[in-house]
């Protein structure tokens, strides 16, 4: 089974790039499941119904998110109307809208997609993602033959690496998101878990992690809060990974980076 996963899709330019690239990648790589992190869909922060529908229409099957998922109004309706298409980190406090995981049937196999948020360098007080995974594993009665994909949304590569070792053999893949900076450590751990510390982003290349240069630069130089703006045209950096999983035992057979650029 092939799973194609895109890093954080940033703003309008990222959505337009997804609309152009997903049909091409579907034809080229023939993935069985296409996932994208969408916490930055709506002008860089949060998700709206319109921005979600845009990437779904492009051919994305499921959208994961992160710590910005509740940044836009209307998230209650969003999670109600699209509960099988978008998930949020499972280790938010209990009682919030949305679910932290989704299960889909593909080729008569159960695929469990889990979204978790790291805690290192994060302002929010998330629950322990390590033990949250354990609870979900018990709740879903995940078997060794099930395919389990984890979007681990975190700042620290050390936390992402440690989590990957913690679930080695229990998850088919741990795919890091959040920093928008792709890492070159894609590998398969001894017990069959594919790992990459950060997939990267689908966002403006000539900026600062998808943001127009002036805002972040001014913030670093002056320490004064600055409104960030997002380019709507130009070269888009497209970062993704393609994971191949053995359908018999749920172990990853291969993980490769799929990086490119597109002009919008």
Q: What is the pLDDT of residues 125-143, one digit of tens each?
A: 999 999 999 999 999 999 9
Q: What pLDDT, in 10s, does the model give residues 155-176?
A: 999 999 999 999 999 999 999 9
Q: Other C-beta atoms within 10 Å of 71: how many?
A: 17
Range(s) of the domain holding residue 249: 2-263
Length of the chain: 264
Whether 68 is catalytic is yes
E strand residue ranges, the chain: 2-6, 8-9, 33-37, 62-64, 101-106, 109-117, 147-153, 173-177, 187-188, 194-196, 201-204, 235-245, 252-263
* Annotated catalytic residue within 68, 153, 178, 180: 68
Q: How far apart are CA 99 and CA 20, in angstroms?
A: 29
Domain at 212, CATH number: 3.60.21.10
Would the pTM of this model clear 0.95, i.e. be above it? yes
What is the per-residue pLDDT across 201-244, written as a single tens digit (0 to 9) for each? 999 999 999 999 999 999 999 999 888 999 899 999 999 999 99
Q: What is the pLDDT of residue 28?
A: 98
| Domains in the chain, number | 1
């Amino acid at each position: 089974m092939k799973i194609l996963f895109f890093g954080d899709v940033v703003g309008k330019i990222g959505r337009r790039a997804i609309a152009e690239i997903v049909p091409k990648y579907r034809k080229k790589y023939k993935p069985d499941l296409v996932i994208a992190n969408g916490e930055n869909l709506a002008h860089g922060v949060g998700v709206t119904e319109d921005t979600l529908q845009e990437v779904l229409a492009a051919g994305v099957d499921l959208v994961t998110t992160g710590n910005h998922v509740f940044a836009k109004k209307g998230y209650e309706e969003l999670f109600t109307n699209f509960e099988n298409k978008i998930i949020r980190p499972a280790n938010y406090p209990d009682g919030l809208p949305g679910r932290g995981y989704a299960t889909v049937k593909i080729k008569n196999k159960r695929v469990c997609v889990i979204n978790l948020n790291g805690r290192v360098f994060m302002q929010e007080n998330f629950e322990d993602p390590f033990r949250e995974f354990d609870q979900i594993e018990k709740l879903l009665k995940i078997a060794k033959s099930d395919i389990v994909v984890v979007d681990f949304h975190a700042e620290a590569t050390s936390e992402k690496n440690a989590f990957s070792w913690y679930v080695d053999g229990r998850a088919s893949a741990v795919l890091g998101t959040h920093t928008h900076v792709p890492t070159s450590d894609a590998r398969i751990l001894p017990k069959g878990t594919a790992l990459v510390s950060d997939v990267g982003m689908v966002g403006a290349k000539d900026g600062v992690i998808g943001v127009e240069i002036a805002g972040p630069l001014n913030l670093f130089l002056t320490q004064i809060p600055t409104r960030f703006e997002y380019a709507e045209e130009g070269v888009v950096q497209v970062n993704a990974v393609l994971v191949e999983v053995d359908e018999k035992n749920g172990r990853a057979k291969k993980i490769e980076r799929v990086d490119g650029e597109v002009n919008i």
